[in-house]
Structure 1
Amino acid sequence: MNNKPVFFILTFVCLTSVRAESSFQSHETIYQAAREYIGQNLTASDEYEIDMVPLDSLLTLPACSKPLEAFTTGDLTKVKSGRVAVGVRCNSDKKWSIFISAIVKVYQKVAVLIQPVKRGDTITRGHFSIERREIAKFGDELITRAEQVENKQALRFLPAGTILTAKNIAEPKLVKKGDKIIISASQPGFSVRMNGLAMMDGAKGQIIRIKNQTSGRIVSATVVEPGMVSVNF
């Protein structure tokens, strides 16, 4: 009998504590709403990790009787990695809104050099591998497929471990200044070839200046293959 008052007091304290906790929104549900929103708005093909920056443990918000709504003022589809701010709000009778921060790490499979290359070197399949890497600080020019970089020329010295981008490489020069080349000119039912001299370097598809060695005229021609360019009448 002497223990009953103590039992009733402990029971009352526990029930009061449970009711107090249930009257406030748990921080984990706020984090979850933000995580789901970020994940839904990142580029679908990306792999990502989301780490929430913890809220102040003393922060209390009324429990929301409706599903939480997340929102942002930025464009999450452009997020490549880093800190983002996401709002979470309650639209029930006890309205509230709060911004929280998340650290987003976005990953892609990209071309990474496994051997160094010098300026002007032709990059072969043995120079690089496709690896999963975090793509922070990179734009939309990452190399994600082997055919985008294979047999291209390095524009500068690149050490092993470099994540390749379109700014690192260029189409190989098929024609170099001073090369003797064939100028091809054609139209339906007629074609002619002339000897020429390259006045500048050129990659496939590039328009360069060529000197016709017969007439001495300088013409503009499109590089077709090594040693050959084409002109239009």
Structure 2
Amino acid sequence: MRMRSHADLQRQPSQMMARFVSGLLLALGLWLVSASASWAATDSHSLAESRVTAFLLEQTAGLGRDIEVTVHPASARLPDCIDPQPFLTNPGQRLYGRVSVGLRCGEQGQQTRYLQASVSVIVDHVVVARDIDAGSLITAGDLMLEEARLERLPRHALLGIDDALGMTAARPLRAGTTLQTHYLRRPELVSRGAHVTVTAHGAGFSISRKAKALDSGALGDAVRLSTDNGEQLVATVTGPDQLKITL
């Protein structure tokens, strides 16, 4: 049996320490590589979210006030998006509530990502100030403005009092009701069977004649007419019992 010398016994702790330090350095290096990748991914995602936020704030600048944008992180783990360029997935889409935003990634924008965001906007909307009977003409005294979050309002809520003035109530409206477009109708200016005046406009001249309305209509509606000699025309309503034809 070989006896270990005093020098061998002294070298053993040094070798163990060296192996320990080497292992520790290797583990530290692997952790740094992993952390660097994680930090880079976090920076990439943060950049994408900040650009989407700025993009939506710009797009909704005229929509209302106190606009808030919250970008929802992607549910799936996606590769980094280099130099993200936001765009609307549908140019005609609503810009409040839940909004989908696309991101073109890379120098040539070859890759595309999609993120979801929530946009909240404060607006004034029209509310019925007092009870209104069906068929009544809407006046300024019937209405008032209240503040609300746009995304919580009905889709067809009116945002301006002027949009309702001169209209008639299509149904009884109770005070406090949020006014919507389908609660209103344009007042009838021409009644079926009424005798009306139709004016034909041409280059430098106009001719008026009497006719009988075959349809009822509101401002801007196309109405069929019958003249005294039996001729049928289609004219546009311009006022009470007044219509026009452009030649």
Q: TM-score, normalised by structure 1?
A: 0.58
CA gap 1:37/1:183 in 2 versus in 1, 3 angstroms:
closer
Which of 146, 149, 155 pairs up with 2:164? 149
RMSD over aligned CA atoms reads 4.8
Is the CA contact 2:198–2:209 (under 8 Å) kept in the aligned structure 1? yes
Q: 2:68 aligns with which of 36, 49, 58?
A: 49
Q: Distance in 2 between matches of 1:73 and 1:193?
A: 53
Offset at residue 224 of structure 1 (A): 2.0
SS at match of 2:127: strand
Give the Cα–Cα distance (whole angstroms) in 2 for the partners of residues 230 and 52 of structure 1.
Answer: 53
Residue aligning to 2:178: 162
Q: Deviation digits for residues 33-66 of structure 1, max 9, x if unmatched? A: 7367325314112342346779xxxxxxxxxxxx
CA pair 73-207 structure 1, distance change in 2 beyond 3 A:
closer
Aligned mate of 2:232, from 218, 225, 232 = 218
Which residue does 1:229 correspond to in 2?
Answer: 243
**Change in 2 beyond 3 A, CA 1:80/1:119:** farther
Q: 1:222 is aligned with what amino acid?
A: T
Q: Which residue of 2 aligns with 1:128?
A: 143
Call closer, same or farther: CA 1:145–1:215 in 2, change over 3 Å: same
How far apart, CA to CA, are the structure 2 residues paired with 1:120 and 1:82?
34
CA spacing shift, 1:184–1:103, aligned 2, 3 Å: closer
- Matching residue's letter, 2:217: G
CA contact (8 A) 1:52 1:102 kept: yes
Structure with the larger helix share: 2
User: Quick one: which of 172, 189, 193 aligns to 2:209?
Assistant: 193
Q: Which has more radius of gyration? A: 2
Aligned amino acid, residue 241 of structure 2: G
Given the alignment, which residue of 165, 173, 187 partners 2:188?
Answer: 173
Query: SS of 2:233's equivalent?
Result: strand
Equivalents in 2 of 1:115, 1:158: separation in Å?
8
Distance 1:206 1:86 in 2: 39
Q: Distance in 1 between matches of 2:242 and 2:221?
A: 12
Structure 2 distance, partners of 1:155, 1:132, is: 24
CA shift, 1:100, in A, is 8.5
Within 5 A, what are the aligned runs for 1:1-233?
34=49, 37-41=52-56, 42-47=59-64, 48-50=67-69, 74=89, 78-83=93-98, 103-136=118-151, 138-139=154-155, 142-159=157-174, 160-165=176-181, 167-185=182-200, 187=202, 188-189=204-205, 191-194=207-210, 196-212=211-227, 214-232=228-246
SS in 2 for 1:174: strand
Quickly say closer, same or farther: Cα 1:158–1:38, change in 2 above 3 A: farther
Inter-CA distance 227–132: structure 2 relative to 1 (3 Å threshold): same
Q: 1:79-127, CA deviations, whole angstroms, 9 ceiling, x for partnerless residues?
A: 5544557899xx9xxxxxxx98764322222323223434433221112
CA distance in structure 2 between the partners assigned to 1:147 and 1:154 by the alignment: 15
- Return the TM-score normalized by structure 2: 0.55
Do the aligned partners of residues 218 and 43 (structure 1) sit closer, same or farther apart at CA in structure 2, a change above 3 Å counting? same
Structure 1: 5+ residue runs without aligned partners? 1-21, 55-67, 92-98
Assess if the C-alpha contact under 8 Å between 2:201 and 2:246 holds in 1. Answer: yes
